[in-house]
Amino acid sequence: LRPWWVKEREHEDPTVEIDWPTFKPYDRTKNPFYTKPAEVVAALAARDKPYKEEGYAKKIPGRSLRDQAFSNGSSFNGPDAPWDGPANGALPAEAKGVAWQDSPENNLQMMRAAIHAYGGVLTGALAVDDKVRNIFDASGFVFDSSEKGTQDAKKVYHIPEKCKYILTFAVKQNYLQSTYQISADASSPTGLGVSLPLGAQAVGQAYSNSSFVGYSAMRMVKTLGWQTYKTGVTANVALGVFSGLGESARNSHLNTPRYGLLVRYTNYFFTDMPLAPTPPIDAGMFSFCANCRRCGEFCPTSSLSKQNDPTWDTAGTWNRPGFKGYFMDWKGCIDNGGPGACGICHTNCPFNHAAEGIIHPLVRSTAAVTPLFN
């Protein structure tokens, strides 16, 4: 159940304002994502090498060889399911060709329970319509009248039009472990902007967990006799925002009422199994960002906006226009080794803090319902 202060909005009406004529499918030709040039890659390697060597040689806590091995052991492990779901997921012969039948509401509740058992913490759903299609990529896949999904000779994925439901879900990233990414170490080449392996383990572990949950959920749905397809969405945060997992945030990540920014990531797949769509939410978090600026103030490269108000103006060609929010300067972030080598913005959000401390639930609920904050 959601906390009491979280309000549901109308479908396709998130707390971030959308200009639908401008908000179009993500086009990599018009909005190419920034890639580090070779000289920047070399400079970062030269910058970080002595720091890593020192950590290994001196067994410095947080960046020792043991910490690195601990992080590597669980980071970005698979298996990622194939785009059309695990091959070992299929309707059993004993079902005699009859797929599982239930209401969209019950199907969603079933998947929410299953994903919780598999290791996820948030589950939502979307129905594909003209507005939701704007979340998708502009190329690389199409919906058509085919019975089964295929990939053609041009590497374009074809998804059956009847697969008009999207299941969305996210896993939690360990909060306490994540805090070990950050060290006020005077010898660090970029101050706070180097992620220590001891804390980075939480990031890689969460991505591994997301892969497992996605694989399991797709296999389950296929075993129920329905189809599953995962392709066509680069900007996954929008899926989480529109399906009510969380709200947009200053650092462009998904901010959630219970776990703050520490979820990874909005995983998803298309299916023809009927699912009841879940609407966007308002927990006061996007409004709170206007007066917080904590992630922006800590950002070592000033890649995050420090302005109070959201804007329609993007920070670069890599940003997709069409919404009034806060835009990341990805060039500044990536040229410093981010986002993988920096854990500042997602670790410092005040909504991350564990709910056991009495002050944090009070702040969350106050921010959601008090006009001063929103």
The full DSSP string for 322-358 is SEEB----HHHHHHTTTTTT--HHHHS-GGGS-TTST
Token representation of residue 365: 């609920």
For residue 1, being part of any structural domain is answered with: no
Q: Exposed, middle or buried, 222 (CB in 10 Å: 0-12/13-18/19+)?
A: buried
Token representation of residue 286: 């996007």
Give the residue with greater pLDDT, 337 vs 11. 11
Quick: pLDDT tens for 185-233.
Answer: 777 776 666 789 999 999 999 999 999 999 999 999 999 999 999 999 9
Check residue 74 and give its pLDDT: 96
Which domain covers residue 240, as residue numbers?
7-369
For residue 193, being part of any structural domain is answered with: yes
Quick: pLDDT tens for 254-274.
Answer: 999 999 999 998 999 999 999
For residue 374, being part of any structural domain is answered with: no
For residue 280, being part of any structural domain is answered with: yes
Highest mean pLDDT among 70-79, 278-287, 329-338, 340-349: 278-287
Which residue matches tokens 């383990």?
201
For residue 166, being part of any structural domain is answered with: yes
The phi, psi pair for 135, rounded to 5°, reads -75, -25
In one-letter notation, the amino acid at residue 97 is G
Residue 254 Cα distances to 216, 219, 339, 351, 358, angstroms: 23, 26, 15, 11, 24
For residue 81, being part of any structural domain is answered with: yes
Number of separate domains in the chain:
1
Chain mean position to CA 151: 26
Beta strand 141-144 with 157-160: parallel, antiparallel or unpaired? Answer: parallel
For residue 2, being part of any structural domain is answered with: no
Other beta carbons within 10 angstroms of residue 343's beta carbon come to: 24
**What is the average pLDDT score of the chain?**
92
Quick: pLDDT tens for 23-79.
Answer: 999 998 888 889 999 999 999 999 999 999 999 999 999 999 999 999 999 999 988
For residue 299, being part of any structural domain is answered with: yes
What is the rounded average pLDDT of the residues 102-109?
99
